[in-house]
């Protein structure tokens, strides 16, 4: 698929998300002057990162992972020689839940079709999930044998999956925020990121 076509399809996803008035998070977005956060990066990226939902900084700026977790993510990308512009970064839920709470099952179900369309547009070779929620969603989506595993058991492992456009890999990673409240886990994140080197052209 040509890059121009991918961008056109992504714009359609963006417009639908921006006008998702049926979302329980829509009113919260509007009343706080927040933005929906669609994603950022290349629409033909080989590596796609998926988190759970935007935080306050993200909702204020409309950019994924632009707060303290984003600084950790940038460090991790830099450690393997990747530029943020060469990958695609998004979340399952595109609007900020109040008080930084976890997204609900209903919210994940509502926003999931948009994420699925983004995956089909980008067609990444590897999906790196950031945190438990995105890992559980993606492994279930691809009916992975590891879909009931805990993140503590499968993080840093390349798991094979079958997407409609071909064979892909899923790489479960801890959420970058882990490095902020559990500094002892930061080294684990760096080590897990090394696995992505093989997908850098």
**Token digits of residue 189:** 């994140």
Q: What is the predicted pLDDT for the residue at 146?
A: 94
Q: What is the predicted pLDDT for the residue at 45?
A: 97
Q: What is the predicted pLDDT for the residue at 183?
A: 85
Cβ–Cβ under 8 Å, residues 57 and 34:
no
The CATH architecture one would assign to domain 3-199 is 3-Layer(aba) Sandwich (3.40)
Q: What is the predicted pLDDT for the residue at 132?
A: 94
Q: What is the predicted pLDDT for the residue at 142?
A: 96
**Whose CA is closest to 36, among 59, 4, 13, 69?**
59
* Sequence spans of domains, the chain: 3-199
DSSP output for 51-71: ES---HHHHHHT-TT-SHHHH
Q: What is the predicted pLDDT for the residue at 201?
A: 75
* pTM recorded for the entire structure: 0.97
Angstrom distance (rounded) from CA 11 to CA 39: 11
Q: Considering Cα of 182, then 179, then 112, then 157, what sign does the dihedral take?
A: negative
Angstrom distance (rounded) from CA 95 to CA 24: 10
Per-residue pLDDT of the chain (201 residues; tens, 9 = 90+): 899 999 999 999 999 999 999 999 999 999 999 999 999 999 999 999 999 999 999 999 999 999 999 999 999 999 999 999 999 999 999 999 999 899 999 999 999 999 999 999 999 999 999 999 999 999 999 999 999 999 999 999 999 999 999 999 999 999 999 999 888 889 999 999 999 999 997
* DSSP type of residue 158: -
Q: What is the predicted pLDDT for the residue at 184?
A: 86
């Amino acid at each position: 698929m040509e890059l121009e076509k991918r961008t056109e399809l992504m714009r359609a996803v963006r417009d639908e998300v921006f006008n998702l008035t049926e979302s329980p998070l829509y009113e919260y977005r509007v009343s706080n002057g927040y933005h929906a956060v669609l994603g950022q990066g290349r629409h033909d990226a080989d590596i796609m990162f998926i988190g759970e939902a935007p935080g306050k900084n993200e909702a204020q700026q409309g950019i994924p992972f632009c707060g303290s977790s984003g600084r950790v993510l940038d460090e991790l990308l830099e450690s393997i020689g990747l530029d943020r512009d060469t990958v695609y970064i998004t979340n399952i839920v595109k609007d900020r839940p109040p008080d930084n709470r976890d997204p609900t099952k209903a919210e994940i179900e509502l926003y999931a079709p948009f994420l699925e369309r983004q995956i089909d547009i980008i067609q990444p070779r590897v999906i790196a999930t950031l945190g438990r929620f995105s890992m559980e969603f993606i492994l279930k989506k691809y009916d992975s044998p590891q879909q009931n595993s805990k993140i503590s058991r499968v993080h840093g492992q390349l798991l094979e999956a079958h997407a409609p456009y071909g064979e892909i890999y899923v790489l479960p990673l801890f959420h970058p925020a882990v490095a902020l409240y559990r500094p002892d886990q930061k080294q684990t994140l760096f080590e897990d990121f090394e696995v992505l080197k093989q997908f850098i052209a």
